[in-house]
Amino acid sequence: MDGTGNNRQKAGQAASPKRRKSPKGEERREQILQAAMRQFADDGYQNASFAAIALEVGLSLPGLIHYFPTKVDLLLAILERRDLENVKALGGPELSWRALLAALIDIVQANTQIPGVVRAFAILNAESLTRDHPAAGWFGSRARSVSLSLSQTLRRGIESGEIRPDVDAEALAAELISMMDGLQMLWLRAPDEVDMVAIFRAYVDRLAGDIAAR
């Protein structure tokens, strides 16, 4: 055996520190994501300018490409970043159905603090229905994942006897998602007129009372 393997190993060891993300690089990445969300909220993904995003953060186009090689990469990074905490809030198998409903209220409350991000996300969600949109697969997968998580938690409530046995867990999951998305659109159009949190909390309270086993 010659020394090629050892040389490659040493080269890999020497290169490893360069692959680590620096605090400065992470800060710049965050600036790019924030700028891109503003662009997507104003113009949608299809019309947003990659060059304009670079200009806003003081980068050349090659400089932006260093962080995100394509606009699709940037789009997917935004989607993953936006939804990470919401997915965590839906919890695992230990979450009760009442805790799930409370977590959904918390998500709605948190969304009122980031209207620009919520607007960008809503626009991208609707825009992903167009032909060959790069986020179509992501949003489709997300919808299935969220629906499954909600329905599984509700089904556990049925199996434990806490929720009425005639409740359709899948249909109720779809209703919850539709209520959140529809109410969000009304709020985005008239945030001073639509109290999204109060309306959704009242809806959840009525729902809980209706589905709870007697």
Tens of pLDDT, residue by residue over 156-209, are: 999 999 999 999 999 999 999 999 999 999 999 999 999 999 999 999 999 999
Question: Residue 17 pLDDT more than 80?
Answer: no
* Angle, vertex CA 79, rays to CA 78 and CA 84, nearest 5: 105
20 touches 29 (CB < 8 A):
no
Residue 41 CA to residue 82 CA, distance in Å, equals 13
According to DSSP, residue 24 is labeled: H
pLDDT digits (tens, 9 = 90+) for 94-111: 789 999 999 999 999 989
Third-level CATH fold of 21-211: Tetracycline Repressor; domain 2 (1.10.357)
* Identity of the amino acid at 93: P
Distances from the Cα of 210 to the Cα of 44, 68, 69, 115, angstroms: 39, 48, 50, 31
156 touches 162 (CB < 8 A):
no
pLDDT at 89: 62
Q: What pTM was estimated for this model as a whole?
A: 0.76
Confidence of residue 12 (pLDDT cuts 50, 70, 90): very low
104 touches 199 (CB < 8 A):
no
167 touches 190 (CB < 8 A):
no
Task: Record the tokens describing residue 39, joined without a space.
Answer: 């662009």
